[in-house]
Amino acid sequence: MNTISILATKLSAFLLRLIHRGGSMPGSIGLRISPHVLKSLKINCPVILVTGTNGKTSTSNMIADMMMQANKKVINNRKGDNLKEGITTALLTNTGFNKKVHADAIVLEVDELNIPFIMKNLHVDALVVTNFFRDQLDRAREMEQLIQKIESAIKDYDGTLVLNGNDPNVVRLKDAASKAKTQYFGIHGCATSMKKTNEASEGKFCPRCGKRLDYDFYQYSHIGVFHCSGCDFKTPELDIAGDVIDIPRRLFKWQNEEFCAPQGGLYTMYNCIAVLAVADLFNIPATCAKKAFKEIKVPDGRNETFTYHNHSLILNLVKNPTGANEVMKVIEEDHSKKTILIVLNDHAQDGTDVSWIYDTFFEKLMCEETTKIIVSGTRCYDMALRFKYGGYTGEMEVYENLKDSVSALLKADTTLYAIATYTALQPVRNLLISEMKA
């Protein structure tokens, strides 16, 4: 049955390519034929998983590009098909009928809820965890429940955990995986570090004893340097620690070597430090990581920049308070006149609970440089109400029709920003590209 599963996956993927389609349907067919086909695969190379709330796609793609810079053949679910069906598609389409996987390295972005399935069916050499934030409560449930599910999946794991040492929700995973080796990455305090924070912070209490965590400083949200007031739980000694040189210029340093992150924001530097941790673990030269940072194609909607009528147009995905707050900070750093489009959807992939918009500091957009805010999406009126409750008194336009909202944005003679939730991202992007070409 495993061979038939591989054949069916390959054939369906080939037929989809003929009509210029992709997706995870081939893997879904393969798993239907043989639910445990991944266990049968013969893999003779490192398997690296990347998971976490934010930064999975960018981090896994940079790791894959770094490996390719080291002249390795890499299997990577680059387009973000991070559920078990998409991962199965990526693997089986690169597997021979003898069940041997043809690769020098396998780098897979994995949705947090799919970690138990993948850990059960693949021998994993490194599990990279970027961060844990509250996200899509209706799908992932409370963050504590999600982390417990992952802890249960790794209790017998004997590979290497590559963990964000500045996130207590990530550091706690080591307690659950006593057989695993660990490598902690993080970033030292910098000019933007804060002694106090008003951002939504999930890491308030110790996972061991339940007492409140005290912070020496916060980087953003609950990311920072912490220690428990009741036991010895604290920020571990970092194996890979970066130093910020200049956030607007995207410069940071590791081992006295300067690097340039591919996108703005401190959170992007954290993604890069995670990549360097993997480089260190697998003895990949740091120069390969540096080239990957420079040459990587930014995923759609991750601070993606276009030019229209001599103005910048920046497109960003938002899906939870922490990620959205980091986007707000990047926009806040831009002091040019700007017009902002925000598209809020509430489909299943977005999360039907949109209360997270009240944990996001949209107030950062309510400044004199913002000439107009445009809102659209299935929950456009909720988004407009959020701005009214936040005290926004500037010009606002509400469009139920997405195309009309994009047209309104492109009429502005300012820097342009488009912010969209998951299911709105590609429709907004496609409309922007179409309208700019017209």
Q: Catalogue the long-range contacts made by 160-163 (C-beta closer than 8 Å, 24 or more residues apart).
A: 160/125, 160/126, 160/127, 160/281, 161/126, 161/127, 161/129, 162/126, 162/127, 162/128, 162/129, 162/274, 162/277, 162/278, 162/281, 163/129
| Residues whose CB falls within 8 Å of the CB of residue 221, separated by 6 or more in sequence, listed in order | 133, 197, 199, 200, 201, 202, 203, 321, 322, 325
Instruction: Check 158, 214, 216, 353 and give the catalytic one.
Output: 353
Write out the binding residues: 206, 209, 228, 231
Handedness of CA 240, 243, 246, 247 (dihedral sign): positive
From the number of C-beta atoms within 10 Å of its C-beta (0-12, 13-18, 19+), residue 130 rates as: buried
Handedness of CA 372, 377, 382, 383 (dihedral sign): negative
Write out the binding residues for Zn(2+): 206, 209, 228, 231
CA distance 396 to 388: 10
Q: Which residues pair with 74 in a beta bridge?
A: 105
| Residues whose CB falls within 8 Å of the CB of residue 331, separated by 6 or more in sequence, listed in order | 314, 338, 340, 364, 365, 417
350 belongs to the catalytic site: no
Tell me the C-alpha to C-alpha distance, in Å, between residue 246 and each of 82, 243, 265.
32, 9, 10
CA distance 17 to 22: 6
Residue 260, helix vs strand vs coil? strand
Both ends of the chain: CA-CA distance in Å?
A: 51
Looking up tokens 């504590």, which residue turns up?
Answer: 144
Q: Nearest Cα to 283, choosing from 149, 146, 105?
A: 105
Helix (H) or strand (E) holding 395: none
116 phi, psi to nearest 5 deg: -55, -45
Q: What residues are annotated to the active site?
A: 353
